[in-house]
Amino acid sequence: MSGRTARRRVTMAEVARAAGVSVMTVSYAYGQPGRVSDEARARVREAAERLGYPGPHPGARSLRRGRTGNLGVVLGEHLTYAFDDPQASRFLAGVAQVCADHGMALTLVPVTGGPSDVDRVTAAAVDAFVVWTTADDDPVIDAIAATGLPATVHGGPRRDDLAFVAVDDRAAARAAGIEVFAGARHPAVLSFPLDRARISSVSFGAPSNAGVTAHSGTSNVGVAPSDTVTTEAGPARATAGIDPEASTFRVTRQRLRGFRDAWAEAGGDWSQVRVAVCSTNSAREAEALAAELLTGPHACDAVAAMSDELALGTLRAAARLGLSVPGDLTLSGWDDTDAAAPAGLTTIAQSLRDQGARCARTALGHPAPGDRDTEVAWRLVRRVSTRRP
Amino acid sequence: MSGRTARRRVTMAEVARAAGVSVMTVSYAYGQPGRVSDEARARVREAAERLGYPGPHPGARSLRRGRTGNLGVVLGEHLTYAFDDPQASRFLAGVAQVCADHGMALTLVPVTGGPSDVDRVTAAAVDAFVVWTTADDDPVIDAIAATGLPATVHGGPRRDDLAFVAVDDRAAARAAGIEVFAGARHPAVLSFPLDRARISSVSFGAPSNAGVTAHSGTSNVGVAPSDTVTTEAGPARATAGIDPEASTFRVTRQRLRGFRDAWAEAGGDWSQVRVAVCSTNSAREAEALAAELLTGPHACDAVAAMSDELALGTLRAAARLGLSVPGDLTLSGWDDTDAAAPAGLTTIAQSLRDQGARCARTALGHPAPGDRDTEVAWRLVRRVSTRRP
DNA sequence: GAATAGCTGTGTATCGTTACACAGCTATTC
DNA sequence: GAATAGCTGTGTAACGATACACAGCTATTC
């Protein structure tokens, strides 16, 4: 066990005295080793070793230097999400790669969804922030902007005062939608949460008078879901109609818009599209919601899911119901995770790892040549799940 | 883009002046809100808002307070490993959970395997360390001990001055070995790297004169592999014989010992056991090495792998060679990952998540009731892969 | 009605380091 | 041989906050 009594920290001045040099010589010996002679450096190291000096106090150093050597990462979710969600993990692997390249530590700021998150952000000792998708109205994003530190947001919200990295979710969703909705008569969307409340629901798209006009900016003026009714299936609720514009998550909003675009191009109306909203990105929950989509009087024959996770849950539900894919049901996912290819899942491929790296580079002020201008790459991967007979 | 000019930081004194209160009142308003009147707090908040004060400078605060609110995590591998390796991820999810519970940030110290890792550790602004398996001779571990901060090591090395959490790897390996080696005539082990050099190799166990005696402590006096010969199969090398005691990774050492124990109980000799060493925990590499184990004059009929990853690679190799499991080959893994059950893989189940949480609690000085005394749980999960006909 | 306790506000000293400017000394240059 | 540049060492003044001790004031207690 750690049977240490909290020993007092040895100070630089003590090392200086023991080594017979000035404090500044010790400081330079650590911070700019080239600045002192070999002999002085050796004496300092020896004295430090002898006294058990652990090196300059990081807090004091960062106070004086004005930088910490830490990159802060803020998730719009609970901290454990960083390691539990495969998409977040891949993104963070990219961030971590860049951190390692620059010798920066990676600090995960402990957001939990509670009111103290703001304080946690302002208390974070970091030089820059990378933010993983959060809601437009998340107070955390204001706190980050208020620090005045460089910050890059992935996915959303998009703000003028913060750098931004994301694929063109709307265009990609449109591409996926065209593919999966082709020949469909009863299309459906399996969506991420619409807002921070993260309430799961099953309903149709909002009638077309409720904001079909595409708002390309950050206006979130849409009509919020109302008139919710709990179904017997569990926590799912039927809402009056899902309006893409009402979602406060930019990624969700853009993808809903894109799916709506695709269905509109096929001559359909958004209000014909059933939309199931998951409270979380899990195959388990998706399976339950998909079962609802695939049965009853409005049983669907095409499902556009916002992640491979959700699509795989749908696959399981279909299998359980004896439905064949793509015979009875076409299906698309998102992300092209490792599981997508074996499952024959049509999906949107994007490298979250690259995007994480790009966010980190941008935030740290070391952009790679293409970072500033190049659009973030994505492509539609066609597989058997949308090959309607 | 982040078109901000690096604005000067507003100081607490300026807020105090603007609010018409003393600096201490401002300090209390942030650090101990209950210490000041509602009115004073409101005035401080208002002034802060007006001036754009982002809250107390974290560096200054940590210098004065003597703590940072950060838990440091050090991996024995490159930083990206935290998100790339599924075992590490699950461990870290447990760490993250505890961090969130205590409002602590989680800082991943950017080790990359290079010589500057030591400096990175001493420069880390953290209150405690959690260390994920590293080699006994990794200088990083000394640097951590030198900081004098509380630290908990997972897996190894085991030291008197650092807290330690791990399953009884030797006992678990023995249990797995007994299961997988039962009825085997040509047993093999698929191992993690033996030391920091991380050289992959294929060879037999060292002859029994080279240290069969079980050293239970941390003595690593064993004979180091020598006389390495590159094979035509790629980077793998044939060594004179793998001696468990020679491994500087405690986990690897203990598991090798356990497998040796098991085979000895079956009346066998360690030198009959082929040992393939992977340079990394990847199914891909395992597949190549397993192919070597499963062919040629010494083709094996039982493989004890140190992870499910490696076991799954072996399964693929077996499938490619037309070998049936468990008909032609029995196989065991380790960790009981999600992929193990579908694959019918016998494995050692342990909760790395729980262990991560336990490490974090211990390091932060908030142990749960059982943490101090209870052994870390593991159990053998018997599945079809060891059900020899 | 005096003594006590609790609440709120303040000034000072200090946390441990590094930026900066300067000084002395040794090579190098023309 | 003087001027210059480079190297090495030093002292001082912050960096921005909080622990602590104390003071004034209002309730509460017996």
pLDDT digits (tens, 9 = 90+) for A183-193: 999 999 999 99
Considering the entire predicted model, what is its pTM?
Answer: 0.90
Section B78-87 average pLDDT: 94
Question: Which is higher by pLDDT, B225 or B25?
Answer: B25
H-helix segments, chain B: 12-19, 23-31, 38-51, 58-65, 81-84, 86-101, 117-122, 139-147, 169-181, 250-265, 283-293, 308-321, 340-343, 352-364
How far does the CA of A130 sit from the C1' of D14, in Å? 31
What's the pLDDT score for residue B225?
Answer: 37
pLDDT digits (tens, 9 = 90+) for B10-58: 999 999 999 999 999 999 999 999 999 999 999 999 999 999 999 999 9
How far does the CA of B54 sit from the C1' of D24, in Å? 32
What's the pLDDT score for residue A8?
Answer: 76
Of how many residues is chain B composed? 389
A232 touches strand D (CB under 7 A): no
Joined tokens for residue B244: 């468990």
Section A142-165 average pLDDT: 95
What's the pLDDT score for residue B114?
Answer: 87
Residue A219 has pLDDT above 60, yes or no: no
% of chain A exceeding 90 in pLDDT: 81
Q: Closest to A116 (Cβ–Cβ): which among B97, B103, B163?
A: B103
Q: How many beta-carbon pairs under 8 angstroms link A with B?
A: 182
- Single-letter code of the amino acid located at A321: L
From residues 39-68 of B, which are strand D contacts by CB within 7 A? Answer: 55-57, 60-61, 63-65
pLDDT digits (tens, 9 = 90+) for A319-369: 999 999 999 999 999 999 999 999 999 999 999 999 999 999 999 999 999
What's the pLDDT score for residue A232?
Answer: 38
Closest residue in A to B150 (Cα–Cα): A2
Residue B234 has pLDDT above 70, yes or no: no
Q: Using an 8 Å CB-CB cutoff, list chain A residues near B160.
A: 3
Section A77-103 average pLDDT: 95
Least confident of A161-175, B88-102, B118-132, B197-211: B197-211
pLDDT digits (tens, 9 = 90+) for B349-380: 999 999 999 999 999 999 999 898 888 999 99
Interface contact A196, partner B, CB < 8 A: no
Write the CA distances from B316 to A251, A297, B7, B45, B322, integer angstroms.
38, 44, 57, 62, 10
Q: How far apart are CA B88 and CA B84, in angstroms?
A: 8
Q: How far apart are CA A2 and CA B148, in angstroms?
A: 10
Could B123 and A55 be called an inter-chain contact, meaning their C-beta atoms sit closer than 8 Å? Answer: yes
User: H/E/C letters for each residue in B311-351?
Assistant: HHHHHHHHHHHCCCCCCCCEEECCECCCCHHHHCCEEEECC
What's the pLDDT score for residue A240?
Answer: 63
Residue A122 phi/psi, 5° resolution? -70, -25
Residue B138 has pLDDT above 80, yes or no: yes
Section A116-139 average pLDDT: 96
Mutate to test the interface with B, among A41, A78, A106 (most CBs of B within 10 A): A106
Contact A160, A254 (CB under 8 A): no
Could A56 and B123 be called an inter-chain contact, meaning their C-beta atoms sit closer than 8 Å? Answer: yes
Nearest to A279 by CA among A169, A201, A173: A201
Interface contact A79, partner B, CB < 8 A: yes
Closest residue in A to B49 (Cα–Cα): A146
Q: How far apart are CA B317 and CA B328, in angstroms?
A: 13
Q: How far apart are CA B26 and CA B44, in angstroms?
A: 6
Q: How far apart are CA B159 and CA B151, in angstroms?
A: 11
A36 touches strand D (CB under 7 A): yes
How far does the CA of B381 sit from the C1' of D2, in Å? 87
Residues with Cβ within 8 Å of residue A115, at least 6 apart in sequence: none
Local structure of residue B212 (DSSP, 8 states) = -
pLDDT digits (tens, 9 = 90+) for B142-196: 999 999 999 999 998 999 999 999 999 999 999 999 999 999 999 999 999 999 9
In a 3-state reduction of DSSP, which class is residue B388?
coil
Q: Using an 8 Å CB-CB cutoff, list chain B residues near A84.
A: 93
Please give the mean pLDDT across all residues of chain B: 89
Residue B303 has pLDDT above 90, yes or no: yes
Q: Using an 8 Å CB-CB cutoff, list chain B residues near A29.
A: none
At A373, is the pLDDT very low, low, confident or very high (cuts 50, 70, 90)? confident
Q: How many CB atoms lie within 10 A of CB A380?
A: 18
Q: Using an 8 Å CB-CB cutoff, list chain A residues near B103.
A: 110, 116, 120
